[in-house]
């Protein structure tokens, strides 16, 4: 259960092979293992000790993969940070976790330096990608031993500190142990072995590996002996070219990526016949989008559910069992789930309540936040804050975030239901629904929609469309067409920003 051994185990089971392909160049598992060990030795020379935090913020690249492993081999705690964050966001994380070192890329140097400016305990900021730079560790790494340093840690020691997206407040650092992450990757790998494919397994790594979902999928790939074609960022044309060129068999993406590929005008020009299955996670996938993607590309979409606090995968769709539309599948091996009411009482099948999770993947707690940890971890269970139901066969259906549920006149309204209804309209591409304060009803339903190019449908027609299909109290009271929906770094609709938009819009309408 020691993540430091994942490369060693990979080589013992599969031998030497090109594990990564990046910008046309192959990188073997032997080379990646050696380089990460060299980095670990250099980090120790820089003063990194077991338990110290080391931030890794860089785009997807072989250097990023090496960085994660090198930090762990030094006995330190890796803090993955999305490279798209701005200096102010980085500064908050730096202040919170007080990293000893920040590993970054030359292209991000100025921003990272600005973020660390005038911190009480400034970190050492270094890069890995340009050997000619005075900030690069490349030359020092080449002179370091290629064997893993002998550092004593246990499977219960922290391995990663993952910061939540902060959609409901400031980001919180999720403390995950080696055991949390290893067992979760093992369980996900067992499920992934069941994916149907007629070709050798070739994965496409387009999720940011600095995000919990991408980080774990990289570990899964190593456990399965996959080759992974790594892309620095998502771009539909590049994704389709890569699938065709390398005969990609599977990938993991977020719903925004599926949406972009479905609507890319030249998608039919590419041979994507090797693609057997795609895993969707991190945000809810509208059933209409799943059906459209599967028809267009002739592959399965297997939806799952997770959160950083669960390392992160909780459920996944098993392709060898019946697939239920709208479900996020069954719990991974070793993971237990239940739904409870507001008093913590278990609910029977098909009743909506808060989803709770138990298993070896559940985190230790929030870094430096005892009260928040007590609220999330109760009686051996993780309270997820997500509303769900579990049917009689054990399949999980996510209804909505507990904090996103709209209470209008005492009735619960789940934004996801209204979003999926709006997206079933032939002219609607995307929809985002939030609750806004109302003196009369407590809250009202506000919706933002992105319509197809050339569509003539207006706001009143869309509200009427909803009112004909659901109770009027559930229908949007306010609706506005927009050119885009605000999203966070991983393509999830930013409900906090949407509420700000809605408050401004409604104030203008009511004035």
**Position 439 pLDDT exceeds 80:** no
Q: Is the pLDDT of residue 63 over 70?
A: yes
Max avg pLDDT among 79-88, 250-259, 459-468: 459-468
Q: Are residues 376 and 413 in the same domain?
A: no
For residue 264, what pLDDT is reported? 93
Confidence of residue 39 (pLDDT cuts 50, 70, 90): very high
pLDDT of amino acid 170 = 77
Q: Are residues 90 and 34 in the same domain?
A: yes
Is residue 280 located within the same domain as residue 366?
yes
Where does the pLDDT of residue 132 fall: very low under 50, low under 70, confident under 90, or very high at 90 and above? confident
Same domain flag for 241 and 120: no
What was the pLDDT predicted at 200?
85
In this structure, the strands spanning 300-303 and 277-280 are: parallel
Decide if pLDDT at 125 tops 80: yes
Q: Phi and psi at residue 509, in whole multiples of 5°?
A: -70, -40
pLDDT for res 511? 52
The model's confidence at residue 61, banded by pLDDT at 50, 70 and 90, is very high
Same structural domain for residues 347 and 216?
Answer: yes
Whole-model pTM: value is 0.86
pLDDT at 288 (0 to 100): 83
Q: Region 216-225: what's the mean pLDDT?
A: 94
Mean pLDDT across the stretch 374-394?
A: 96
User: What does pLDDT average to over the chain?
Assistant: 92
pLDDT over threshold 80, residue 510: no
210 and 79 within one domain: no
Q: Do 54 and 101 touch, CB atoms closer than 8 A? A: yes
> Which among 209, 169, 166 has a CA at the least distance from the CA of 64?
209
HSE, side-chain direction, 13 A CA sphere, residue 49: 1
Report whether pLDDT(8) > 80: yes
Evaluate whether residue 174 is within a structural domain: no
H-helix segments, 333-481: 370-376, 415-423, 459-467
In this structure, are 426 and 298 located in the same domain? no
Instruction: List the domain range (segments joined by +) for residue 490.
Output: 405-510
Domain count, the chain: 3
How many Cβ atoms from other residues are within 10 Å of residue 159's Cβ? 27
Mean pLDDT score, 317-339: 94
Average pLDDT (290-308) is 93
- Within this chain, do residues 275 and 376 fall inside the same structural domain, yes or no? yes
Per-residue pLDDT at 166: 55
Residue 488 is assigned to a structural domain of this protein: yes
Q: Please say which residue of 105, 133, 153 terminates a domain.
A: 153
Same domain, 210 and 266: yes
Question: What's the CATH number where 83 sits?
Answer: 3.40.50.980
Nearest to 218 by CA among 15, 3, 74: 3
């Amino acid at each position: 259960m020691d993540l430091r051994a994942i490369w060693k185990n990979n080589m013992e089971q599969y031998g030497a092979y090109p594990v990564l392909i990046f910008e046309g160049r192959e990188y073997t598992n032997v080379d990646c293992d050696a380089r990460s060990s060299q980095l670990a030795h250099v980090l120790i020379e820089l003063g990194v000790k077991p338990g110290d935090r080391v931030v890794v913020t860089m785009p997807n690249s072989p250097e990023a993969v090496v960085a994660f492993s090198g930090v762990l081999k030094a006995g330190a705690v890796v803090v993955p940070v999305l490279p798209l964050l701005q200096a102010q966001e980085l500064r908050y994380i730096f202040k919170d976790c007080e990293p000893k070192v920040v590993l970054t890329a030359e292209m991000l140097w100025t921003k990272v330096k600005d973020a660390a400016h005038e911190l009480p305990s400034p970190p050492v900021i270094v890069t890995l990608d340009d050997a000619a730079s005075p900030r690069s560790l490349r030359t020092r790494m080449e002179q370091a031993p290629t064997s893993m340093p002998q550092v004593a840690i246990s499977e219960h020691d922290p391995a990663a500190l993952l910061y939540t997206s902060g959609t409901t407040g400031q980001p919180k650092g999720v403390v995950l142990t080696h055991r949390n992450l290893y067992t979760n990757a093992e369980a996900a790998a067992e499920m992934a072995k069941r994916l149907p494919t007629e070709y050798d397994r070739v994965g496409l790594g387009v999720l940011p590996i600095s995000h919990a979902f991408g980080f774990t999928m990289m570990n899964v790939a190593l456990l399965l002996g996959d080759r992974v074609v790594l892309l620095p960022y998502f771009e539909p044309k590049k994704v389709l070219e890569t699938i065709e060129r390398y005969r990609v068999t599977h990938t993991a993406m977020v719903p925004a990526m599926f949406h972009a590929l479905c609507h890319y005008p030249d998608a039919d020009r590419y041979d994507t016949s090797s693609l057997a299955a795609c895993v969707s996670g991190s945000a809810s996938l509208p059933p209409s989008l799943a059906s459209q993607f599967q028809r267009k590309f002739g592959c399965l979409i297997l939806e799952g559910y997770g959160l950083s606090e669960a390392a992160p995968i909780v459920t996944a769709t098993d392709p060898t069992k019946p697939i239920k539309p709208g479900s996020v599948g069954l719990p991974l091996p070793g993971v237990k789930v239940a739904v409870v009411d507001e008093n913590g009482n278990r609910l029977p099948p098909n009743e909506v309540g808060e989803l709770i999770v138990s298993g070896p993947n559940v985190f230790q707690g929030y870094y430096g936040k005892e009260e928040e940890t007590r609220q999330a971890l109760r009686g051996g269970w993780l309270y997820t804050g997500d509303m769900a139901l579990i049917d009689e066969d054990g399949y999980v259906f996510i209804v909505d975030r507990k904090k996103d549920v709209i209470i209008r006149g005492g009735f619960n309204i789940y934004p996801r239901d209204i979003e999926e209804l709006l997206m079933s309209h032939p002219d609607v591409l995307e929809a985002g629904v939030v609750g806004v304060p109302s003196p009369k009803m407590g809250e009202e339903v506000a919706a933002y929609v992105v319509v197809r190019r050339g569509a003539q449908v207006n706001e009143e027609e869309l509200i009427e469309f909803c009112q004909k299909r659901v109770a009027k109290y559930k229908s949007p009271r306010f609706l506005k067409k927009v050119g885009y929906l605000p999203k966070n770094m991983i393509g999830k609709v930013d409900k906090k920003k949407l509420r700000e938009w809605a408050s401004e819009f409604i104030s203008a309408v009511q004035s």
